[in-house]
RNA sequence: GGGCCUGUAGCUCAGUCAGGUAGAGCGUCGGACUUUUAAUCCGAUGGUCGCGGGUUCGAACCCCGUCGGGCCCGCCA
């Protein structure tokens, strides 16, 4: 059974109405690791709906979290905002400096700045969750009930955290973090509690009171999380493995949730996505591929497939090079198969059946449109990569595909794919192995590997190419003429040509490529080969 | 120190929850197609399931141990 169905089955035992939560702190540029969080939630919700339940996906924006440090992309003036909540400080402008104008006029915050592009990426990938901004939830008093229970029972909370996490809390620890005189959550000392006020002194020598019902502070993360489960009625939540560890925040959270008076959600721990060869994705180190960048290169359904086809417990290595080609081609091949028919075959082993089922579900989950079943484009990623390189104009690509009978009219999906393909080819991520490279000088080794007859072809080619019309047909005719003159078959002609032009034994059809190359350079290359 | 995830074919991984003859895709090799847009089709190839014990008629799967990789137990998803 596919992992999303396993999860749906678990949910079915709890009830038939579900809210699947995801949550991210908008502290910096979002990356595809965050995409796994959202897509995992999205796929669970889809699986639940497929199983006949009512399921909604929500996205908690943790903009009540404080700025932890001055990241490399920030101006040092952000030093003053450390400890301040992400939803209440200005966004960085192009130079990394606080953009006060937008903040004052439009209320454009640090959190908004990083959230917006991510939401756009989500839309493209077919995920439109209900947003739950956390800072606003505090200000609206949604945390009041849980905050009161926590502040009324600090000993009980402390006991849970210390026992479950095995960590000792400071003597002056209190289950509420007030905002200080400057708006920071750091460096305060709690001096007393009088519902609904938490009294404090800060590091500036000021003192004051924080109303826990009005968002004048927040719950520490280990309480904040279970509190949200309650008033948002969360029944399921996938989260990164950091939260899933024994003694981690889910473990303490599920006990604290009971204290707050509700059941913890069904958990699902997922592994990180790392960048192939570059280690874990991290916003602060700049070692990221942003969702927008990824989507510029990769069709959304392929990105979905990557997540759908990997069990959550498996770490994913995101490879923007050959790995992507293989992934996309596997996806293409799967769309062309008829799983229902294959599953009715006799003598299917249980193992094989499981494999077919999982592939079928993963494919369905990869579709950007939930109602839509992925249709086969019957054009492999490889092939498209080749055409995009050979044909600078889109129309020529479609003509070529029409001629080979693989298409009548390009669908919007295909046009979209070609657009992304061109971006990919132009980027640093495009693998060298896939690049069509025409030699600038004869490759001696490749030419020496030819037979005498084949080398003879090159000699004649020198002549026939000079006389050729510089078009696909003209060049093809020149190849043929050279073969006839050398009295060898076309197989030898092509062997010789690939050795000369690409230093390979085989390759894509040469004539169309050469017709797009500069004639003089090719003739020069041919001439030089006869001396080699 | 405590815990979680992970190790299966050259590669990417299924299969472990319900023990019953080791699976898929890619790759590689061969053949076909009398020029193949790195194509397509067909066929073949391929694994002491990290290692050692135990339970069992039977273990990739359950139990114990051990080694390697990743990670968590800090108010950092």
Q: What is the DSSP string of A379-409?
A: --HHHHHHHHHH-SSHHHHHHHHHHTTS-SS
Residue numbers in A 194-223, CB below 7 Å of strand B: 220-222
pLDDT digits (tens, 9 = 90+) for A389-429: 888 888 888 888 887 767 778 888 888 889 988 988 888 88
pLDDT at position A277 is 57
Task: Report whether pLDDT(A462) > 90.
Answer: no
- Closest CA-bearing residue to C1' of B38: A507
Burial of A289 (0-12, 13-18, 19+ CB in 10 A): buried
Task: Report whether pLDDT(A300) > 60.
Answer: yes
Task: Report whether pLDDT(A279) > 60.
Answer: no
pLDDT at position A288 is 62
- Residue in the structure block whose two tokens are 């979290």: A65
Residues 6+ apart with CB under 8 A from A102: A90, A91, A108
The vertex-A204 CA angle with A198 and A209, nearest 5°, equals 15
Q: Which nucleotide is nearest to A220 (CA to C1')?
A: B75
Under 8 Å between Cβ of A299 and A87: no
CA distance A174 to A345: 64
CA distance A145 to A44: 29
Tokens of A260: 């707050």
CA distance A94 to A108: 14
Task: Report whether pLDDT(A285) > 70.
Answer: no
Q: Which nucleotide is nearest to A380 (CA to C1')?
A: B39
- Residue in the structure block whose two tokens are 């054009």: A379
Tokens of A214: 């009005």
Q: Which nucleotide is nearest to A386 (CA to C1')?
A: B37
Task: Report whether pLDDT(A237) > 90.
Answer: yes
The rounded mean pLDDT for chain A is 87
- Answer with the residue of higher pLDDT: A17 or A72: A17
Mapping DSSP to helix (H, G, I), strand (E, B) and coil, where does residue A20 land?
strand
Residues 6+ apart with CB under 8 A from A485: A460, A463, A464
Task: Report whether pLDDT(A532) > 70.
Answer: no
Residue numbers in A 47-76, CB below 7 Å of strand B: 62, 65-66, 68
How many angstroms is C1' of B65 away from CA of A313?
25
User: What's the whole-number mean pLDDT along residues A513-528?
Assistant: 85
Give one DSSP letter per residue of A321-362, joined into a string. Answer: SHHHHHHHHHHHHHHT--HHHHHT-TT--HHHHHHHHHHHHH
Task: Report whether pLDDT(A282) > 60.
Answer: no
Under 8 Å between Cβ of A379 and A414: yes
- Closest CA-bearing residue to C1' of B75: A220
CA distance A320 to A428: 9
pLDDT at position A200 is 94
pLDDT at position A346 is 65
pLDDT digits (tens, 9 = 90+) for A333-375: 888 877 887 777 766 677 778 888 888 899 999 999 998 876 7
CA distance A275 to A319: 6
Q: Which nucleotide is nearest to A356 (CA to C1')?
A: B24
- Answer with the residue of higher pLDDT: A288 or A131: A131
Query: Dihedral angle at the C-alpha atoms of A484, A490, A496, A502, nearest 10 degrees?
Result: 130
CA distance A284 to A249: 22
- Residue in the structure block whose two tokens are 């949200």: A228
User: What's the whole-number mean pLDDT along residues A279-285?
Assistant: 54
pLDDT at position A466 is 87
pLDDT at position A224 is 94
- Closest CA-bearing residue to C1' of B35: A490
Distances (CA, A) of A128 to A122, A225, A337: 7, 22, 29
Mapping DSSP to helix (H, G, I), strand (E, B) and coil, where does residue A159 land?
helix
């Amino acid at each position: 059974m596919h992992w999303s169905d396993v999860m749906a089955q678990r949910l079915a035992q709890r009830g038939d109405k579900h809210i699947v939560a995801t949550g991210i702190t908008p502290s910096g540029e979002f990356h595809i690791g965050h995409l796994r969080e959202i897509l995992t939630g999205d796929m669970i919700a889809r699986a639940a709906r497929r199983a006949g339940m009512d399921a909604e996906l929500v996205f908690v924006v943790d903009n009540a979290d404080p700025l932890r440090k001055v990241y490399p992309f920030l101006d040092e003036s952000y030093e003053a905002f450390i400890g301040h909540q992400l939803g209440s400080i200005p966004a960085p402008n192009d130079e990394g400096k606080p953009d006060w104008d937008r903040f004052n006029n439009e209320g454009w915050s640090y959190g908004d700045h990083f959230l917006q592009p991510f939401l756009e990426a989500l839309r493209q990938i077919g995920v439109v969750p209900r947003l739950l901004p956390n800072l606003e939830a505090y200000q609206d008093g949604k945390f009041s009930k849980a905050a009161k229970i926590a502040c009324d029972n600090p000993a009980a909370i402390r006991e849970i955290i210390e026992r479950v996490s095995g960590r000792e809390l400071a003597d002056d620890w209190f289950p509420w973090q007030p905002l200080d005189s400057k708006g920071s959550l750091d460096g305060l000392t709690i001096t007393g509690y009088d519902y609904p006020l938490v009294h404090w002194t800060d590091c500036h020598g000021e003192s004051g009171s924080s109303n826990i019902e009005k968002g004048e502070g927040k719950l520490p993360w280990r309480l904040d999380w279970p509190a949200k489960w309650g008033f948002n009625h969360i029944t399921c939540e996938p989260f990164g493995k950091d939260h899933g560890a024994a003694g981690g925040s889910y473990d303490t959270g599920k006990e604290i949730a009971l204290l707050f008076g509700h059941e913890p959600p069904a958990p699902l721990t997922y592994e990180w996505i790392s960048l192939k060869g570059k280690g874990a994705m991290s916003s602060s180190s700049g070692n990221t591929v942003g969702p927008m960048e990824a989507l510029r290169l990769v069709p959304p359904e392929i990105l979905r497939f990557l997540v759908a086809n990997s069990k959550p417990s498996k770490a994913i290595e995101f490879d923007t090079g050959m790995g992507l080609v293989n992934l996309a081609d596997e996806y293409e091949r799967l769309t062309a198969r008829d799983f229902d028919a294959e599953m009715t075959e006799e003598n299917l082993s249980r193992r094989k059946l499981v494999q077919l089922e999982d592939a079928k579900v993963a494919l369905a989950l990869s579709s950007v449109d939930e109602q839509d079943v992925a249709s086969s484009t019957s054009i492999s990623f490889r092939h498209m990569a080749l055409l995009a390189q050979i044909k600078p104009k889109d129309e020529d690509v479609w003509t070529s595909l029409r001629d080979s009978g693989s298409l009548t009219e390009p669908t919007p999906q295909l046009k979209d794919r070609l657009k992304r393909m061109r971006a990919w080819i132009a980027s640093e991520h495009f693998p060298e192995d896939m690049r069509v490279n025409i030699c600038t000088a004869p490759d001696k080794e490749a030419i020496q590997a030819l037979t005498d007859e084949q080398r003879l072809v090159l000699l004649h080619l020198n002549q026939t190419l000079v006389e050729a019309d510089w078009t696909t047909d003209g060049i093809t005719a020149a190849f043929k003429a050279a073969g006839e003159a050398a009295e060898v078959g076309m197989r030898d002609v092509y062997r010789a040509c690939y050795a000369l032009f690409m230093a390979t034994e085989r390759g894509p059809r040469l004539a169309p490529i050469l017709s797009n190359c500069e004639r003089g350079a090719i003739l020069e290359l041919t001439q030089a080969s006869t001396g080699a």
